[in-house]
Structure 1
Amino acid sequence: MTKTFYLLFFITLFFSCNSPTEFIIPESLKPADDFSTSFINKVIKGQLESSFSDIEPTVLNEKTKEFITNANKNINGGNLKTVKVVEYNWKTMFSTNSEKFTQYNLGYEYEFENKNILFRTSIVEKNNKFSVVMFNGEILPGKLSELTKFTFENKTFVHYTFLIFTILIPLFIIITLVFMLKSRITTKQKVIWSLVILFICFPKFVIDWNSGQTNFSFLNFSLLGSSFTKTTLYSAWLISFNIPIGALIYWFKRNSYLIAEIEDDKTE
Structure 2
Amino acid sequence: MRLGALIPLLACVLSACGVPQTPEAFNKTPEAQFLRVVVDKLAVREFAFIESQLDPKLVEPDVRSALERTAAALPAEAVAAVQPVAWRVGVSTNGPRTATVAAEYAYPSSKWFVVSAQLTGEAGSFRILRLNVEPLPAPMAQLNAFTFQGKGAMHYAFFLFTLSAFALSVYAFVQCLRTKGIRRKWLWAIFTLLGFCAFTLNWSSGAVSINPLSFNLFSAGFGRAGWVGPWGLTFCIPIGAIVFLWKHRHVANTPPIGG
- TM-score over 0.5 (shorter chain): yes
Equivalent residues in 2 for 1:201-216, closer than 5 Å: 201-216=195-210
Task: For residue 175 of structure 2, give the secondary structure of its aligned residue in structure 1.
Answer: helix
* Shift in Å, 1:108: 1.3
Structure 2 partner of 1:195: 190
Tell me the amino acid that sits aligned with residue 150 of structure 1: F
Deviations 1:80-131 (A, max 9, x none): 32222222222222335xxxx3222211111121521100112222496222
Distance 1:62 1:170 in 2: 56
Taking a change above 3 Å as real, the CA distance of residues 49 and 251 of structure 1, as seen in their structure-2 partners, is same
User: Quick check: which one's helix share is greater?
Assistant: 1
Question: Are 1:262 and 2:244 an aligned pair?
Answer: no
- The change in CA–CA distance for 1:264 and 1:141 in structure 2 (over 3 A counts) is closer
**Equivalent-residue separation in structure 1 for 2:244 and 2:219 (angstroms):** 15
1:23 maps to 23
Give 3-state SS (helix, strand or coil) of 2:162's partner: helix
Instruction: Give the equivalent residue in structure 2 for 1:252.
Output: 246
Contact 2:202–2:230 (Cα < 8 Å) also in 1: yes
1:47 aligns with 2:46: yes
Contact 2:191 2:241 in 1 (8 A): yes
**Matching residue's letter, 1:151:** T
CA distance in 2, matches of 1:93, 1:218: 30
- Please say if residues 181 and 257 of structure 2, whose CA atoms lie closer than 8 Å, have aligned partners that are also in contact: no
Partner Cα separation in structure 2 for residue 32 and residue 165 of structure 1: 40
Question: More deviation in 74-83 or 237-246?
Answer: 74-83
RMSD: 2.5
Q: After the TM superposition, which residues 1-268 of structure 1 pair with which residues of structure 2 at under 5 Å, given as runs?
A: 23-25=23-25, 30-75=29-74, 77-95=76-94, 101-112=96-107, 113-126=109-122, 129-186=125-182, 189-199=184-194, 201-255=195-249, 257-258=251-252, 261-262=254-255
The higher radius of gyration belongs to 1
Counterparts of 2:158 and 2:177, CA distance in 1: 29
- Gaps in structure 1 of 5+ consecutive residues: 1-21
Q: Secondary structure at the match of 1:62?
A: coil
Q: Give the letter aligned to residue 179 of structure 1.
A: Q
- The 3 A distance-change label for structure 1 pair 127 and 105 is closer
- TM-score normalised by the chain length of structure 1: 0.78
Amino acid of the residue matched to residue 34 of structure 1? Q
CA apart distance, 1:136 = 0.7
Question: What TM-score does the superposition give when structure 2 sets the normalisation length?
Answer: 0.81
SS in 2 for 1:203: strand
Describe the SS at the equivalent of 2:147.
coil
Q: Describe the shift of the 1:50–1:127 C-alpha distance in structure 2 as closer, same or farther (beyond 3 A).
A: closer
| Number of matched pairs | 236
Runs of 5+ unmatched residues, structure 2: 1-21
* Cα distance, 1:189–1:257 mapped onto 2, change above 3 Å: farther
Q: 1:110 to 1:262 in 2, by over 3 A?
A: same
Q: Distance in 2 between matches of 1:195 and 1:34?
A: 45
**1:196 & 1:156 partners in 2: Cα distance?**
33
Q: Does the CA-based 8 Å contact 2:26-2:32 persist in structure 1?
A: no
In 2, the alpha carbon distance for the partners of 1:94 and 1:67 equals 34
Deviation (angstroms), 1:43: 1.5
Identity of aligned residues (%): 20
Q: 1:3 is matched with which residue?
A: none
Kindly state the Cα deviation for residue 241 of structure 1 after the two structures are TM-superposed. 0.6
Q: In structure 1, how many angstroms separate the alpha carbons of the residues matched to 2:242 and 2:63?
A: 55
Paired letter, 1:262: P
